Amino acid sequence: VPSELRITTIKQEPYTVSKGSQLEGFCMDLLSEVAKKVGFKYRVQLVKDGSYGRQDENGTWNGMIGEVMRGEADLAIAPLTLTAAREKVVAMTTPFMQTGISILLRRDTSEETGFFDFLSPFTAQTWVGILAAYLGTAACIFVVSRCRLSPCEWSQPQTEQNTFSFLHSLWYTAGALTLQGAGPHPKALSGRIICCTWWFFTIVLLACYFSNLSSAKTPESTQLTVKGFDDLANQDVIEYGCLAGSSTLAFFKNSNNPVYRRIYEHMERTKSFVSSMDEGVRRAKEGSYAFIGESVSLDLAVARHCELVRAHEVVGMRGYSIAAAIGSPFIKSLNLAILQLSEAGELAYLRSKWWASSCLAERAKSSAVQAHSLKGMFLVLAIGLGLGALVAVLELITKSRRGAAEQKKPCCTVLSEELSLRLKSNAGTTHNDSDKEKA
């Protein structure tokens, strides 16, 4: 057993990436944990020809598999797929990661933007509720401030000039809805309660609107024109291919499934292979190309590029293993270490660490706000309007009681006189306003 093992690997995000003069990634973390459990020192080197390992026509293996066979490396740690052909020439450990074959596509963003997409943050029922709340609040402000139910708002109805018409109440309410002040403001406590309730309602409403409007601008459609390999084989609009010389290509080549055979024959006929994973992701991002590859690698591409999406169908389940020379004394210890890491949850932790998505904001995109989502705010507004009207009535009753005590009349008589005086004054003021507008 050598004192220092030679480890061959290949650069592929996030398994092995460069950070300055050092290498890091999922496989490097895995190697560190395995070395601690088995108890060996190591030195990492990149594979010379940049290949994983495949057999040419002469029966010679290249890549990491070839280096392990020739004794140029003791172990190969990379996303090496466990296959029967590789198992014949090297010893493969228990898989440290399960994967399969799937399809990577660009999201369907063909839907055109409509003229009224600015209304999309709320549903139609919510907009109707907002309109009803707006008209109801304006009517309450008009009744309390214009009709002068509260004596604190209008102490001398015969002489005081009034500007709180219904149109002004609508304008005042709209100004508060757009966070633009529109005076004059109510002076009575009842009017101020109504206005404060409406201001609080509009603040929450606008916060919900702008939050959902910004989310709606993010491309949303994840409807796939190709949902699986059957759809892929039965269409000729989207070109598709896989990594040249990969185990994915071998899966389709050796399969007896007629759908998979058609996919392989199409790729051979059109020569739609790619030379690297990065090239496949780039072509998928450009559109009109579906990249077929390992599902875990495609998941990483989806996590890094928000415009991509992976098909749900996964076929040909297989695993990634560590390769060693046949008869290596480390195989049993490596298998035990991998099982221990899996049972302890270390492998799952490393997966979540290196496959962290940068598209969380998009995944959390909220849909249009339903009316029932704001039912609490509508309830608060209704309570505020009712409380304001009740306070106005109580203020008027309080003044009527004081007037009845001073005039030595029944309270109901004074109250009816107050209401009659205010309604008559309101009607007269309305006519005067109409005459001024005509003039």
Binding positions for L-glutamate are 79, 81, 86, 247-248, 294
Looking only at the bridges linking them, the beta strands covering 315-324 and 75-81 are antiparallel
User: Minimal CA–CA distance to 161: which of 392, 426, 416?
Assistant: 426
Distances (CA, A) of 38 to 34, 68, 80, 320: 6, 19, 21, 19
Q: Are 203 and 195 in contact (CB under 8 A)?
A: no
In the DSSP assignment, the letter for residue 152 is T
- The residues, any chain, with a CB within 8 Å of residue 298's CB and separated by 6 or more, are 102, 103, 104, 291, 310
CA distance 49 to 53: 10
Tokens of 395: 């203020």
Q: Cis peptide leading into 184, omega within 30 of 0? A: yes
Q: Are 306 and 285 in contact (CB under 8 A)?
A: no
What 3-state DSSP class applies to 10?
coil
Q: Are 375 and 125 in contact (CB under 8 A)?
A: no
Binding residues: 79, 81, 86, 247-248, 294
